[in-house]
Amino acid sequence: VLMSISLLMIAGAMIVHAGDVEQGDTVTIVTPGVTARLCPEPMCGPGQHIMRVAEGTELEVEGTEDVKIGSIHVKWFQVVVDGSTGWISIFDTNKAP
């Protein structure tokens, strides 16, 4: 029960925080090195990414999408990196909860 409550609190906090990000806002990649993945669609699997994005890269949000995984919602940002349009998880950005 405590774990379920914790997950709901995390998911709720993430939705409120991530909800503040809108089209035209800027996000910064905070994942160390070059490990953030630009995906062709939200929730791409290993090896399905378009490219890797370096830590410190600032990106303008073109759109957002919430993806539900069980009881947790993950916010994805549509961005353009070096001419390639794709999706970055909130967890790779400075907007992560």
Report phi then psi at 60, rounded to 5. -90, 135
pLDDT tens digits for the chain (97 residues)?
Answer: 444 434 434 444 444 345 689 999 999 999 999 999 999 999 888 899 999 999 999 999 999 999 988 888 899 999 999 999 999 999 999 999 8
Q: What is the pLDDT of residue 69?
A: 81
Q: What is the pLDDT of residue 20?
A: 84
Q: CB-based burial of residue 92 (10 Å sphere; 0-12 exposed, 13-18 middle, 19+ buried)?
A: buried
Residue 37 CB coordination number (10 Å): 21
Q: Regarding beta strands 72-81 and 84-89, do their DSSP bridges make them parallel or antiparallel, or are they unpaired? A: antiparallel
CB of 64 closer than 8 Å to CB of 2: no
Model pTM score = 0.78
